[in-house]
Amino acid sequence: MEFVDTHAHLNDEKFAEDLEAVIARAGEAGVTRIINLGDTMDSSARAVALAEAHEGLFAGVGIHPEEAFEMTGRDIDRLADWAEHPKVAAIGEIGLDYYWEKDAEKRLLQQKIFIRQLDLARQLHLPVCIHDREAHGDMLAILKKEGKGLCGVLHCYSGSPEMAKEVFRMGWFIGVDGPLTFKNAAKLPEVMRGAPRDMVLLETDAPYMAPVPMRGKRNEPAYVRHVAEKVAELWGMSLEEVAARTTKNAECLYEKLLFHKEIPKK
């Protein structure tokens, strides 16, 4: 049985002490590949370097909305250079965050750099990994207008079942992680029950949002299995089948996953 953790933040300082052990534990738990997402220029550079240094590790490069700044042509050129790297699987994590950002002008800046990075992904033929927090209306509007010719995932999906239908109609994936296992998961179980089985990706968002029974602890890619168990329950499938399907889904969106070595098993 194998899993892909399609969304982790291994650059986080919470992994500074024991990253090698974290990756090894992921391998032991059946996680063959991890996509490590950058959120600033610096962390994107680190994500690329880590991907170069580790089998089974891939990178996403991009500017997260919480880190939004006026990007220069030089920043865009650097992102474009990284994107050509054989182990840079995505432009991300990019998107909109209206939970942390209440200022109208700064929200406009988020939209501007989000759209600029969508353009870049289209030019480079890379999928995008999207953060959408309390910005569902603007997110859908932007994806409809600016998302043509692009494919990607709404990571850590938090919208309604109705919005999910629209997302799937547009051919986009949703990513599911720890919150699905929480008691207050709200409409997420309903979203998952209604989701096409070939449009769902497993992720952890480590070090954040550890799934039950690890809730409250530092999250890590090995825990993706707990998310998969909850999906298996909701889909009425075996864990093996969920693992196989979601791995195939990850390879379908992130093609570069197919061409490199996996995390070595000890």
Q: Which one of the spans 86-94, 114-122, 171-179, 220-228 is the region binding Ni ion (CB under 5 A)?
A: 86-94
Residue 7 Cβ vs Ni ion, minimum distance, rounded to whole Å? 6
Closer to Ni ion by Cβ: residue 12 or 229:
12
Residue 240 Cβ vs Ni ion, minimum distance, rounded to whole Å? 27
Say how far apart CA 90 and CA 39 lie, in whole Å: 12
For residue 216, the number of C-alpha atoms closer than 13 Å in the C-beta half-sphere is 1
| x/- letters, 201..230, toward Ni ion (CB under 5 A) | ----x-------------------------
Say how far apart CA 155 and CA 205 lie, in whole Å: 9
Q: Phi then psi for 227, rounded to 5 degrees?
A: -65, -45
Closer to Ni ion by Cβ: residue 12 or 138:
12
| x/- letters, 103..142, toward Ni ion (CB under 5 A) | ----------------------------------------
Closer to Ni ion by Cβ: residue 99 or 148:
99
Residue 253 Cβ vs Ni ion, minimum distance, rounded to whole Å? 16
Q: Which one of the spans 116-124, 141-149, 199-207, 218-226 is the region binding Ni ion (CB under 5 A)?
A: 199-207
| x/- letters, 150..189, toward Ni ion (CB under 5 A) | ----------------------------------------
Residue 131 Cβ vs Ni ion, minimum distance, rounded to whole Å? 6
Residue 30 Cβ vs Ni ion, minimum distance, rounded to whole Å? 22
Binding site for Ni ion (CB under 5 A): 93, 205
